Structure 1
């Protein structure tokens, strides 16, 4: 309500432009999880033609979903990795066994490192993937690590579940 005698205040000011007031966070270049023996360069990932998130090109490399938050800025930064291939374990072969409190380090292109701590791990059927829980905006910097898990469906040539590790900035 406008006080008597004051000019009306428009709900949306014409020509208003919000300025970014927080420092830009550099892109991630390396993922390190010492407790799991993970030390990997990070590949940028986008979307496939069908709208699904791309996956890393090789089993030994982690991939960051570059259309989302950067690790250390508000929002969920999502890093994906393979659990295995027909011939070798993948970068996230041991992710399902990660424990709460495990340290995750993401090195960035400007030489800084964002350190996260695992807060929980979940295994969910791919047909019930919690898209909102993984990708929806958060006010704080968070990290989501995603891989395959559960039983292997030979007819489809893929795992039936996803393993998702959740982490908060330390």
Structure 2
């Protein structure tokens, strides 16, 4: 039998342009299919509730109407869901903000009745004079501060890094309502009075001394770090049914151009003892 010669496969040089391009087209087609699948999956994913409320309204009439975001279980939402309460803080615990609608944290120690408001007929107006926080070694004088022309809460002069400021239109520490005291975290010369404020945690003690000889002790109930653009105004300044205090300083990232921090550290505490 005459042996038939085998058909030779064309070499790379002998293949047509279409034959040489075929493997690449197959790969591209496969990747394109994966891309279509990924886009489809993402379009089906429910919106994540970050605690900020309803989604923004569409820019045009033909777009999808405003929708209330689907609440995702905590175990599935990760860092995108803000907690419903202010955290207790503590060693090596990252500080995060609570949802804007969250209330102030519950008292960590038995609450004592507020000190009756000082009589207006008194010739010398009572004011806080000193604050002591044993855990972070704070022992600082207090001066009064008010709002600036832009409506922002004033702070002590940067030249006095060890000074704190009491918002004089807030309740006197020990009286009914939230009393506001702030202080710098740092200056260009180094750490300031509230440099270690973020180390406080639930159960720590804060002492505020007053010009009328009374001494008030507050017990920390919670601490958070919130962005200045999403400051929890209602939680900090809103009315309370007992005597509370808020300590505020800066935190987050420092912007060397604007000379400001991105966030605020906020400590919440409730009156737990008074004397004098």
1:82 aligns with 2:184: yes
- Counterparts of residues 44-63 of structure 1 (less than 5 Å): 44-57=144-157, 58-63=160-165
5+ residue gaps in structure 1? 1-21
Partner of 1:65: 167
CA offsets per residue over residues 68-102 of structure 1, 9 Å max, x none? 11100010000000000111211100001111111
Q: Aligned to 1:142, which of 231, 244, 267?
A: 244
1:32 aligns with 2:139: no
5+ residue gaps in structure 2? 1-115, 120-125
Q: Give the TM-score normalised by the residue count of structure 1.
A: 0.84
CA drift of 1:155 comes to 2.1
Partner Cα separation in structure 2 for residue 102 and residue 82 of structure 1? 20
Q: Any idea what SS the aligned residue of 1:164 has? A: strand
Partner Cα separation in structure 1 for residue 118 and residue 240 of structure 2? 17
Aligned residue pairs, count: 149
Q: Which has the larger radius of gyration?
A: 2
Partner Cα separation in structure 2 for residue 125 and residue 89 of structure 1? 21
Partner Cα separation in structure 1 for residue 210 and residue 174 of structure 2? 10
1:109 aligns with 2:207: no
Partner Cα separation in structure 1 for residue 193 and residue 117 of structure 2? 31
Q: Give the TM-score normalised by the residue count of structure 2.
A: 0.53
| Runs of 4 or more above 4 Å deviation | none
Partner of 1:132: 234
Q: Aligned to 1:157, which of 259, 267, 272?
A: 259
Higher helix share: 2
Higher strand share: 1
Q: Any idea what SS the aligned residue of 1:110 has? A: coil
Q: Any idea what SS the aligned residue of 2:262 has? A: strand
Partner of 1:9: none
Partner Cα separation in structure 2 for residue 45 and residue 38 of structure 1? 19
Report which structure shows greater RCO (CA 8 Å, sep ≥6).
Answer: 1
